[in-house]
Structure 1
Amino acid sequence: MEGAPNQGTDFGGKTMGHGMNLINTAHLSRGRISLKRGNLFGQTPTKRRLLQSPHTQVNAGAQIDFFLCKQLTLYSSTPLYKFSYDRLQEYSRQLGFVIAAEKQKGLAVHVESNLTCKVKFSLLSVLKTSERDQTGVLIQVTAENAGAKVAGPKVLWMGCFCCIRGDDILETIVEDFTCFPLFLVNGAESLTAIIGTWLQQTFDCSFSLLTISPLNLAWMAAMWTGYKMEHHKRAVELTFSVPGTPHPLDILYAIHAEDAKALWDSIHTTQQEVLQEQVDLFMDGLCYHFYRHFKIYLSATRLVKVSTSVASAHSDGKIKILHSAYLLEILALMTELAITKIL
C-alpha cells in the first residue's frame, strides 16, 4: 500500500487538492462475491451488446490518429437544422471570419496575434460503420506563423461530430435535421466557447457537457478490461473520490492487467453481450479484494475515473482513447450515452 499526496488541476484550472494512491499487486479472488456495495454504482442497464466493428478502410489511419492519445471533452448535441455536407467549405469560411473577428477583439485569448488562423470542415468516413450512420464531421482550427523557420500548421483546436450505431435517435429525426448526438472537443476553452456559440446560432442546436456516471464508468472498466491486447498492457486503474473530507481526497486502486482480465474472463460467459450482473460481479470482486487488503469499503466512495490499456474516462466528461483497434466501440458507447441524455 502506498500513500502519496497528489496535486493537480482540472480543465478550468481549479485546484483538485490531495489524493492518495492505494496500489496492491496480489492476485485477485476469482470466486463469487457477496459483498454489499451500497449505492456505489446505482442502477445499471440490463445488458449491452458487444459491437462487431467493420474492417477499417485502407486510408483510415490518418483519420483515426485525430482521436488517439488526446484528452477529448464529451458533449451531447441536439440535431442540427439545415446542415448540409455540400456546404463544408462555406462553413469553414464563415467560422474562420468569426474567429478572426474575435481575435481582433482579443477574445480568442489562446490565439497569438502573430498567427494566421484557418478553419477546415472535413468528412470522417471512418466513423460511418453502417448505411444508417451519419458520416462524421471534423472541425479543425490551425494556425501558421509566416515568419517561422519550421513550416507547417499547428492544430489549435479540433472538434468532431459523430453518430455511431445511433439507431434509437435516427428513427425519430424529421426532415431538415441531421443527427450528431456526440460532439468531441480538444482545445482551448476560449475557442470552444466561440465555436460552440457559432454552431448553436447557425444550426439552431444546443450542447451539454456529457458527464459520466459511476454506473457507466463501471461498465467501461469491465468492457475495456475484456478487450484483447497483445502489447502495451497497462494496469487497470480505478479512482474513487472520498466524500465528506476537509480537502478533496481520491483513492487510486491499480490492478495488474492480467489479473483484471482473468477475473473478467471468469465472469463473462456470454459471447455477444455484457450483462449487468457480470459488471456487478466484476466490480464486487475488485472491491472485495481491496477491502481484504486495506479494510476500506469502497461502497462509501464514488467511482470517478477508469483507466485501462484501451482508454481512460473521467466522470467530468473527459476521455482519452489509447488504442486504435477499439476506437469505434468506444465512440459507439459514448454515442449511446449522448443519445440517452438528449432523448
Structure 2
Amino acid sequence: MNDLLKSGHRSNKSLQMHTPYSSTPRTRCFPKTPLSRRLTASARAARHESDGEVHDYEGLVMKTWKVYSLSPLYKFQSTKTSLTKYARSLDFALSQDKLRDMYSENSGHEKSAFSIYEGLNFKDQDAKAIQIQVSVKNESGNGANTVFNALMICVDLDTSPVPEYLAKHFTYYPVILVSGNKSRTDIILTWLEQHFDCRSASVQFSNRDLRWFLATGSSQSVSRKSCPVVLQYSLSDVCDGISTVDCKFDAEFCKELWDRLNGGSSSRQMINESEVTQYVTALEEHLECTMHILFSKLSLSEVGTSMAYVSSQGKLKLFSNLGVFPALHMVCEIVKDGFQDIVYPLS
C-alpha cells in the first residue's frame, strides 16, 4: 500500500488555466518535507491576548468541523453582489439535487447565504474568509434553523500555488471547514467544483501532521483552565480487540518540557522538525517507561491540546478564541504543502 501511495505522489499533474484541477485525483496529496514552519501566528495571537484584542470567533469555537482542501477558485469574487448571486445559484442546486429525497420533509424550504467572516484574514494577500450557511424553516414557520455551515479560509500564508501571472484569475482558499450532514456537504462541494473549476478533497492528517499539531499546541502559553494534552494512538493494525490507547498529560507539564528542550516560543519566529521530533520523542519515552508500550512504533490518531483537537480523519475542534489563529494557520500550512508540486502551463 505504501508503495502505491508513493507511486501516486510521483505522478505529474498538469493543469489548464480554466480547469486548474481537472486532472487532480480526489485524494490529498502528500506534502513535501517541511524543514520548518513559522510561529508568527502563535506569537501574534499571544500579543493579542496581552493587549486584550482577542477576536470573538462566534460560531467557530467549540464546534466539530470536518476539514476539506480546495484548489484555487477560478473567477471567484467576494463582493456583496457576487455573494448574493452565489446564494441564489446554490439554492437552485439544493432544490434540484436528487439527494433531497432523503430529507424531503424540508423540500423547498432551504435557504443559503454567503457572507464574509471577519477576523480570519491577517494579511492583505489573505483571501477574505467566506461563510456559507444553509437554513431550514422550522415547523412553526416563524423562524429558521441553520443546518449547514462552512468556512472557506486562507490564514496567514506566505506563498500560494498560483503563480503571479494568474493571481488575478484565481482566489486561493486552501481549506474549507464543514459542519453539516454528508448529503448537503456533497451537494455544496460539487457546486463549488462546477462553478469555480476547482477540486475539493477530504483531508486526512498523517502521523507527522499530528506531531506538528501536538508540538505547536503544547508550546503555547497555558492558562489555569487549560484542557489536558491528549495523545491517542491507533492499535488497529497491532492488537486485536483494542483499537486505540489514550494518554493524557497536564498542559503545564507539556509547556515546561517544551521550554526545557527548545526554549520559550513567545519571541520565536520558526519551529523546525527536529525540535518537533525531539519533543514528541521525549513524551513517548516517558510513556514507554510508565506503560511499557513502544509508543514510538505506533501512529497517532488524535491529538488534543489547549489550542485544539485534531484527528487523523480530518476532524477539528477549536477550544478558545486565542487558539483559532495558530490552529487554522497550521491547518492551512499543512494542506497548502500538498499543492506545491502543481504546474500551471502557459497553454
Establish whether TM, by shorter chain, passes 0.5.
yes
Listed as ranges, the matches of 1:134-283 within 5 Å are 134-145=127-138, 147=140, 151-169=142-160, 172=163, 174=166, 175-242=168-235, 243-247=237-241, 249-269=243-263, 271-272=267-268, 273-283=270-280
Root-mean-square deviation (Å): 2.5
Deviation at 1:163?
1.0
Deviations along 1:81-129, whole A, 9 cap, x unmatched?
Answer: 1111220000001101211223xx4536357437821100001231110
Listed as ranges, the matches of 1:1-343 within 5 Å are 45-51=34-40, 52-53=43-44, 60-61=55-56, 64-86=57-79, 87-102=82-97, 105=98, 107=100, 109-110=102-103, 112-113=105-106, 116-145=109-138, 147=140, 151-169=142-160, 172=163, 174=166, 175-242=168-235, 243-247=237-241, 249-269=243-263, 271-272=267-268, 273-343=270-340
Change (3 A) 1:259 1:182: same
User: 2: CA distance between counterparts of 1:67 and 1:311?
Assistant: 12
Deviation at 1:261?
1.7
Contact 1:115-1:145 within 8 A present in 2 as well: no
Q: Is the deviation greater in 247-256 or in 306-315?
A: 247-256
How many residue pairs are counted as aligned between the two chains? 296
TM-score (norm 2): 0.79
TM-score (norm 1): 0.79
SS of alignment partner, residue 128 of structure 2: strand
Contact 2:207-2:300 within 8 A present in 1 as well: yes
Could you list the runs of 5+ residues in structure 2 that have no partner in the other structure?
A: 1-31, 341-347
Residue aligning to 1:21: none
User: 2: CA distance between counterparts of 1:139 and 1:252?
Assistant: 35
Could you list the runs of 5+ residues in structure 1 that have no partner in the other structure?
A: 1-42
Deviation at 1:248?
5.3
Residue aligning to 2:13: none
Change (3 A) 1:60 1:70: same
Contact 1:235-1:257 within 8 A present in 2 as well: yes
Change (3 A) 1:315 1:108: farther
Contact 1:91-1:121 within 8 A present in 2 as well: yes
Change (3 A) 1:156 1:182: same
Contact 1:44-1:215 within 8 A present in 2 as well: no
Residue 204 of structure 2 aligns to which amino acid in structure 1? Answer: T
Task: Give the percent of matched residue pairs that are identical in Structure 1 and Structure 2.
Answer: 27
SS of alignment partner, residue 319 of structure 1: strand
Change (3 A) 1:111 1:156: farther
